[in-house]
Amino acid sequence: MIRNLARPAIRATQRRCASTTTVTTSEIPLANLELRWKTLSAQEQGSLTKHLEQVQAGDWTKMTLEQKKAAYWVAFGPHGARTPLTGPNHGLKVFFGTTAVVGASGGLFLWIRSKGGENPQTLTKEWQEASNEYARANKINPISGVSSEGYKGDGFVSLSKN
C-alpha cells in the first residue's frame, strides 16, 4: 500500500529532474569543440557525448566532418583522465629543482665537514701499517689476504696520503 502511494510522487520528481537537466545538442555547435570543451557544463558535455554516441551507432558515412572530429576529440582528447600531468616548462622546473636540492645538500655536507674535528687516529699510515703487522702475526685471511704467501698488496694501508 505504501509503495503504491509513493510511486506517483517519485515519478513526478523524476519528470521534474529530467526536464530541468536535459540539454539539447542542437544548442551546442560542434565546430572548434576542443577549444570550448572546458567551458561547457558537465550536463552539456554528457548530452553531447550521448548525442555523438547515437550518431556513431548509425551509418558513419552519413556523419558530417564536424561530427567525426568532435567524436574523435571526445573519445581521445586530452581531457578528463587523459589530461596531461605536466605543463609547459616542466623540464626546466625539474632541472632547477634538482640543481637546488643537490646544491643545498653539497653545502650542508661542506658545512658539516668544516665543523668536524681531526681525522681519527685509525686513518694514520702508522696505524694502518701496524694493522698489517697484526694481521700477519695472527694469520688473518691466509688464503688471499695479508698473511698469504707471496702477498704483494698494500693490505690495510689506504691510498690516502695522511
CA distance 33 to 26: 14
Task: Encode pLDDT of 8-56 as tens digits.
Answer: 444 444 444 444 444 455 567 888 788 888 888 889 888 889 999 998 9
Does the structure show a pLDDT above 70 at 64? yes
Task: Encode pLDDT of 73-113 as tens digits.
Answer: 888 888 887 888 888 899 999 999 999 999 999 999 999 99
Give the chain's mean pLDDT. 81
pTM for the model: 0.43
CA distance 66 to 51: 13
- Per-residue pLDDT, 128: 92
